[in-house]
Amino acid sequence: MPDTNADSTDPVRIVVYLRADASAAVVDPLRETVTRARRLEDGDGDATVRVETWASVRPVLEKLDDSGPSVSPTVEEFQRWADREGYALRSFERCETTSMVGQRPAVQVRVPTVCVAVYEGEDLQCVAPCSNGDRTYTVAECLTALENGATDPFVTPDDAGRDEPVRDRIDDCLGDRTRIGDED
């Protein structure tokens, strides 16, 4: 996979997260997502791919786990990336749930059915799905961009020096027209 930053020699790492309690109805699409990601690793060997399962959690209980928190810090890292880059992570939800035992609500972090995180070295470059307010960027679109050689899936290799995200160029070309699938 060609690097969009000619000066970078950092390895590209792609992590595919699959929600552990996903419906059986989505197993085939999830299998295809994993297959596409693995092809990126098998292609020219410049990317490593890891597939992990995760689940929605209550951070207060996650802290009690002997191995320590895992989902909460990952979601917090993703949120910091989204805040820094101007994206929203609508598929990640923090909500309060009530306890059947006591009256105190507990915060629960819900994770999407599938998520892809792209790292260049240790730097998080992308999380999908994400939204810029006008448009949602899907896991499939992220993988397509990676298949086309981008390490920042929202910037094409031609744009590496311009720092102009693909979404801006698409919006410029479309003007006021709305693309199918852009409605949230």
- Residue 89 burial (CB < 10 Å; 0-12/13-18/19+)? buried
Give the separation between CA 40 and CA 127, rounded to whole angstroms.
17
Instruction: State residue 17's pLDDT score.
Output: 97
Tens digits of per-residue pLDDT, 112-165?
999 999 999 999 999 999 999 888 999 999 999 988 887 666 664 444 443 444
* Lowest mean pLDDT segment, chosen from 50-54, 56-60, 149-153, 165-169: 165-169
Confidence of residue 180 (pLDDT cuts 50, 70, 90): very low
Phi, psi angles (nearest 5°) of residue 104:
-80, 130
Instruction: State residue 10's pLDDT score.
Output: 81
Average pLDDT, stretch 82-101? 87
Q: pTM for this structure?
A: 0.76
CB contact set of 65 (below 8 Å; sequence gap of 6+): none
**Beta-carbon neighbour count of residue 64 at 10 Å?**
9
Instruction: State residue 166's pLDDT score.
Output: 36
For residue 56, is pLDDT > 80? yes
Domain ranges of the chain: 12-149
Q: What is the dihedral of CA 95, 98, 104, 105, to 10 degrees?
A: 0
Confidence of residue 75 (pLDDT cuts 50, 70, 90): very high
